Amino acid sequence: MSQKTTSKTLLAALSVILLIVGLAGGYFMGSTTAPATTITEAAKTVTVTNTVTTIHTVTTTLTQKETVTVAPTPTRTEIVLGATLPLSGALSAHGQEVAEALKMAAEDINNAGGITVKEGANLKIRLVILDDKSDPTTSVNNLERLINVEHIDALVGGVAAAISAPLAAVCEKYKVPYITAGVTNVRYFERYYKYMWIVFHRIDANVELTMKAFQSVGIRSLAYWEEKSEVGEEVGQWVKTLAPKYGIEVVFYESYVAGTKDFTDLIVRTKAKSPDAVMAHPTTPDAVTMIRQSKENDFNPKLFWLIRGASTPVFYENLGKDAEYVCDSLVWNPTLNRPGNAQLVARYTERTGRPAGALLGPSYTVMQVVAEAFKIAGTLDKEKVNEAMLKVYLPDTVMGPVKFTEKGSPVLQHEMNQWQNGKYVCVYPPELAVSSIKLAPSWSSR
């Protein structure tokens, strides 16, 4: 074979080899293309050039897509909390205090950076408060507006069971978490309503603590004036159940209608039984009338226990020194030595010009509880927020440690308060008390 023929043969063979390599390279390069993902950058083209002497050039192209992590787009700019409160009417003294407590707590949460959930970071609370005029029907109508117009994420606050219980039924219907400090009926504490959570005293525990306090100062007999309401009746049932356990006799039991203007007949018949103490669950206007007319009729038991009615500064403002020695039992008092309590009370007084009543601390704590539930849930999904309530634990509130049992009942410490020298002070139990229980002297010696 001649040299010229050999060169042509070698050149042809080399061309075939290079063609095969080029095709194979393109095939394998193509097979390594990364699969597309849902979030991508624009495709990048990578060109690889392989050169074999000067005889042939093979070019292969790789198209590659890269995945980029993108933060979810926020879907919310705020958290909306609603409240329907008695800013006017018979319960207005309480309602105005609750409203101010909710506002203060919202400001503090917002100033601390808000609440971060998956729907948005550092979301601020917008609080919508409507006046229910101390009327349950108006309160329900307000709640319908809060849910369907304002689109609240949760309902907060409350004053009385007569108003709060109907709200719980509406929240149950719409599956809206309801966190309140305005209900005391035992059945509501153990998930009677799935979406209702109470940060307040239970009637049974409250009455039992009162009986212990009465026993400690020698109270041996009592009268109960029952307001014709669900809560008034329930307090009375617990009084009749627990008083004998502590050696206390119920010598008089009579009912009355809220808003009564003349209690004279009730007072005179009670006076004939000479009870050591009188217990009732009145509104503040009724409590004021009871004390005024008791003085007019020279009815002077050792203690008046007027839960709810006596727990607001308006009670003392209306009666002055005649309000001295009147007591009640709750789960918070302005004088308690707990972290932040004195500062909260001072701030409230500076803002309103009024001394603090019994609902300031619990209502402020309600907001802390709901904020913690949002954080635990990590979302504004109402069902998940509601489930997160059982995991809430706040060790250092003005009410002390706050958490819930598996049944949804709050774990709180109850205490008795009394008006002494113009101040509403804690007098029982001894480990919380800042003063001792004082028995009332006769009207003529005050």
Per-residue pLDDT tens over the stretch 301-314: 999 999 999 999 99
pLDDT value of position 189: 78
How would CATH label the architecture of 78-201+340-350+357-379?
Answer: 3-Layer(aba) Sandwich (3.40)
Bridge partners of 279, per DSSP, are 224, 305
Task: Give per-residue pLDDT as tens, 355-404.
Answer: 999 999 999 999 999 999 999 999 999 999 999 999 999 999 999 999 99
How would CATH label the architecture of 204-330+416-445?
Answer: 3-Layer(aba) Sandwich (3.40)
Give the whole-number percent of the chain exceeding pLDDT 70: 84
Give the whole-number percent of the chain exceeding pLDDT 90: 75
- List CB contacts of 389: < 8 A, sequence separation 6 or more: 177, 179, 197, 369, 373, 404, 408
The tokens for 297 are: 């009729």
Alpha-carbon dihedral of residues 318, 322, 323, 324, nearest 10 degrees?
150
pLDDT value of position 58: 40
CATH 3.40.50.2300 region(s) of the chain? 78-201+340-350+357-379, 204-330+416-445
Residue 67's alpha-carbon distances to 13, 39, 158, in angstroms, are 44, 6, 51
Work out the angle at residue 316's Cα, subtended by the Cα atoms of residues 84 and 304, and round it to the nearest 5 degrees.
100
Chain mean pLDDT for the chain: 86
CA 335/CA 314 separation, integer angstroms: 18
> What average pLDDT score do residues 108-129 get?
97
> What does 58-112 look like in DSSP terms, one character per residue?
EEEEEEE--B---PPPP--SEEEEEEEE-SSSTTHHHHHHHHHHHHHHHHHHHHT
CA 151 to mean position of chain CA atoms: 18
Q: Are 110 and 154 in contact (CB under 8 A)?
A: no
Q: Which helix (H) or strand (E) holds 173?
A: helix 161-174
Task: Give per-residue pLDDT as tens, 44-70.
Answer: 333 333 433 333 444 444 444 444 444
CA 267/CA 292 separation, integer angstroms: 11
Task: Give per-residue pLDDT as tens, 234-265.
Answer: 999 999 999 999 999 999 999 999 999 999 99
In this structure, are strands 277-280 and 249-256 parallel, antiparallel, or unpaired? unpaired
Q: Which segment of 14-28, 87-101, 139-153, 428-442 scores lowest on mean pLDDT?
A: 14-28
Q: Which helix (H) or strand (E) holds 300?
A: none
The tokens for 220 are: 């041996």
